[in-house]
């Protein structure tokens, strides 16, 4: 019903596969393990087969917060082979173009990098200044309403 309503009222949908390994260390532990490819593939395949005829779906997403692994690359290639008309995004793809057509960082600051030891986060300006970078940038998460509760929202 949701997709039908989006089709009817002109809402755009980023359709995201149910793939997340939040809390796994290292984060790409499962997504780089070939034993997990069948499970991940089933989720992506079902999503695309279920929703491909909805014009509101404008972007496919390979999941959220599961690191970047070889399984993402395989799933990206599969989606592009069955639906080359839509871009594919994956927030964990970063500067690696093998799994995302869109740069979609989480919580990127506008001007300053965030030097977290495990996963350094570049600023939006740094992403946009990468040599030869032409992909669009969409912040997939940027105003987490907890703690400071949108305290820095005006910066965006």
Expressed as residue numbers, the domain containing 12 is 1-102
**Residue where one domain finishes, among candidates 76, 102, 128:** 102
Q: Residue 61: beta bridge partners?
A: 16, 89
Catalytic site includes residue 20: no
pLDDT digits (tens, 9 = 90+) for 16-36: 999 988 777 777 788 889 999
Q: Are residues 37 and 113 in the same domain?
A: no
pLDDT digits (tens, 9 = 90+) for 103-126: 888 877 788 777 665 555 778 888
Instruction: Give yes or no for a contact between 66 and 19, defined as CB atoms under 8 angstroms apart.
Output: yes
DSSP 59: E
Q: Are residues 58 and 84 in the same domain?
A: yes
Catalytic site includes residue 16: no
Q: Are residues 85 and 111 in the same domain?
A: no
| CA distances for 146 relative to 17, 87, 123, 139, angstroms | 25, 31, 21, 18
- 37-51 and 70-82 are packed helices; what angle lies between their axes, rounded to 10 degrees? 30
Which one is predicted more confidently, 90 or 26?
Answer: 90
Which position among 20, 42, 133, 141 bears the catalytic label?
141
Which position among 42, 65, 112, 133 bears the catalytic label?
65
How many CB atoms are closer than 10 A to CB 56? 18
Question: What are the backbone dihedrals phi and psi of residue 77, each rounded to the nearest 5 degrees, phi first?
Answer: -60, -40
Q: Are residues 132 and 59 in the same domain?
A: no
- pLDDT number for residue 104: 86
Q: Are residues 122 and 95 in the same domain?
A: no
The total number of structural domains in the chain stands at 2
């Amino acid at each position: 019903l949701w997709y039908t309503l989006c089709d009817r009222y002109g809402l755009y949908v980023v359709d995201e596969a149910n793939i997340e390994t939040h809390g796994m260390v290292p984060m790409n532990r499962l997504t780089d393990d070939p034993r997990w490819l069948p499970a991940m593939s089933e989720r992506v395949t079902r999503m695309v087969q279920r929703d491909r005829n909805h014009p509101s779906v404008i972007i496919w997403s390979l999941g959220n917060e599961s690191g970047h692994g070889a399984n993402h690359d395989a799933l990206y290639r599969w989606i592009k082979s069955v639906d080359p008309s839509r871009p594919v995004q994956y927030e964990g793809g970063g500067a690696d173009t093998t799994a995302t057509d869109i740069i979609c960082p989480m919580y990127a600051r506008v001007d300053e990098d965030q030097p977290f030891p495990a996963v350094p986060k570049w600023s939006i300006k740094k992403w946009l200044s990468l040599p030869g970078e032409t992909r669009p940038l969409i912040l997939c998460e940027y105003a987490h309403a907890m703690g400071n509760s949108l305290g820095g929202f005006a910066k965006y």
